[in-house]
Amino acid sequence: MIERRKTGLIRQTALLFAAGIIITGIFTFCSQRYLSETAVKRQTEVLAGAVAEEVSLSVREYAAYRWLLRYWCSHSDTMEIEYDAEYVPGTETERKSRILTARHPGLMLKYASEAEVEALPERDQKLYAEIVYSWLITRVNQIKRTYQIDYLFCVLTDESFQTQFFVFSAADKGSVRGTNYLEVYPLGTVVTVGESQQEAMRSARQNSSHLAEAGAYEDYYALFEDMDGGTVLIGMTYNLSELIQDIRSQTLRGSAFAAACQLVLSFICLGLVSFFVLRPLKKVERSIRLYKKTKDSSIVEQNLSSIRMKNEIGQLSTDVIGLSKEIDEYLGRIETITAEKERIGTELSLAMRIQTAMLPSVFPAFPSRPELDIYAVMDPAKEVGGDFYDFFFIDEDHLCLVIADVSGKGIPAALFMMAAKIILANYAKMGVDPAGILRETNRAICANNREEMFVTVWLGILTISTGKLTAANAGHEYPCIRKADGQFELLRDKHGFVIGGMEDVEYTDYELILEPGSKLFLYTDGVAEATDEEDQLFGEERMLEALNEDPEASPEQLLKNVRSAVDGFVKGAEQFDDITMLCVEYKGPKGTGRS
């Protein structure tokens, strides 16, 4: 028997590569267009860098430019500016210059130092700032017109680069200055920018300059300098749409003729490929689709047995037959596994809803009580967790605050958490002091704790009328306290033993006086022990830094600040422990304290 010569699929489909001529033409067109557009953008970036340097020098030629920038930003709403000043007598700027020179004959306006300017009376400082701003904006207008820039401006950004505070914007003659779309923004205009512009400004801050595409425009940002926690950037916007469209049209015309010639050869290639490759592949495809409907491997074997090509397609048909038989065997197992997973998922979802319903989650929690503001969050590491918080009024004048962390995670911790929460609340509502509440709760849990689980608890009772806080700590994290107009600090209180660890444990109360405006921050170890990808702990110092970033913020915002700091620290690392936080602000009797 003569063995049939094996013909490889590569040989059978060799003519198909002729169709690649079309792809080559498209690739050539795209690459040429890309190179041309890239060259234009590179030249634009070089030109923009030169313009930014010229604008930068125009600002820096004033010896007191740093003082001026700060003054313009902080007094933008009181500045009286002549945006298109002319260096001729009779203008408002020229009049102000004469007045200031008459008051201070020895003061050279352009070369005045910060010390000289700061020594001026407040009204003359304002006059000096207005004069220089008018001079500078006239110079920047000239630069814009000379280089034919669509938009030229200087902005001050915040640390997150989410907003732009416009320091100055250049304009053509007759342009309207205002805050509407396509108008030239005046001093003091604040706009919120999108993520693409935020990234462009952030790159400019890191690399001194950055050119970014923004639709039909090209945005360029150059770093001027950092100022008061923000970043001063010089920005430009170029409309390159017409130029780029011309480049694309010329490139398209050059490629069109070659593509037309290539299409003829491509049709021939497609005919050959259809006969030698596509026809058997379609038979395989139809068999696969038939199997998806019938789940009968015998039909697949019957349909594909006629394909006896000794190449990759023949091997593919054999593999499809074998695979269909294996799938038949696995389908039964998959159905069983899927049903089990669905059952577990349903139970976990139900457990999560039950646990969430156990915790106070409606905020503001006490809208009729202006004496305090409270906010809390709980984010379990798994579907359910062992952390919990609680707050409720024992009577009209006493608020009970609880935060706790159960050992372990998942369903067991969640069940233990629910039991501990209910027991704590029951004893608290009996009017017992915090130490007594913890003592009785410990006895109740130790009486039937076969799994030997435990829970750390911080519990406090706040007297609303006086601000007195009585608290006890059962092995929980140190609370953080902030006095009015102060900073958050750790309160290293005395720890008792964890609840559930040992019978007949005694706990100790301690007292604090919260003044109106004071805040109390409670948390579980999931905050301080959050780890990044290098297993470094977030720690208490970083937590305090996040709290003190804006200590005047509301409890809700404080918790968001801490969570944002934790997320920024751990980045892509997995959350291994529950994260629970509670913050309460005492505003004084009947809300007389600070808001």
Where are the chain's structural domains? 61-148, 150-239, 360-591
- Give pLDDT, residue 10: 53
Assign 379 to helix, strand or coil: strand
Exposure on the CB side of residue 135, measured as CA atoms within 13 A: 19
CATH for 360-591 (3.30.565.10, 3.60.40.10, 3.40.640.10, 3.40.50.360): 3.60.40.10
- Give pLDDT, residue 109: 82
- Give pLDDT, residue 271: 65
Q: What token pair was written down for 563?
A: 């969570």
Query: Cβ contacts of residue 388 below 8 Å, gap of 6+?
Result: 358, 359, 378, 402, 403, 404, 406, 417, 420, 421, 580
Q: What length does the chain have?
A: 595
Distance CA 93, CA 91 (A): 5
Distance CA 27, CA 95 (A): 64
Strand ranges, E, within 175-229: 190-192, 209-214, 217-227
Distance CA 530, CA 357 (A): 26
CA dihedral 558, 560, 562, 565 (to 10 degrees): -140
Distance CA 19, CA 403 (A): 69
- Give pLDDT, residue 301: 67
Strand ranges, E, within 142-229: 151-157, 163-169, 190-192, 209-214, 217-227
DSSP state of 165: E
What are the contacts of 89-96 at 24+ separation with CB within 8 A?
92/134, 93/130, 93/131, 93/134, 93/135, 96/127, 96/130, 96/131
- Between helices 297-304 and 279-294, what is the axis angle to 10°? 170
Kindly report, residue by residue over 392-435, the tens digit of the pLDDT: 999 999 999 999 999 877 778 888 888 899 999 999 998 889 99
CATH for 150-239 (3.30.450.40, 3.30.9.10, 1.25.50.10, 3.90.45.10): 3.30.450.40
End-to-end Cα spacing for the chain: 97
Q: Per-residue DSSP letters for 44-85?
A: HHHHHHHHHHHHHHHHHTSTTHHHHHHHHHHTTTT----TT-
Residue corresponding to tokens 């070369």: 111
Query: Cβ contacts of residue 397 below 8 Å, gap of 6+?
Result: 463, 464, 465
- Give pLDDT, residue 396: 93
Is residue 441 within 8 Å of residue 427, measured between CB atoms? yes
Give per-residue burial for 42-55: e unless 16+ CB within 10 Å, then b: eebbeebbebbeeb
- Give pLDDT, residue 432: 85
Query: Cβ contacts of residue 298 below 8 Å, gap of 6+?
Result: none
Q: pTM (2 decimals)?
A: 0.47
- Give pLDDT, residue 1: 43
Is residue 129 within 8 Å of residue 75, measured between CB atoms? yes
User: Prior bond to 280 cis, omega within 30?
Assistant: no
- Positions of the chain with pLDDT under 50: 1-3, 9, 593-595
* Number of helices and strands in the chain (H, E): 16, 17
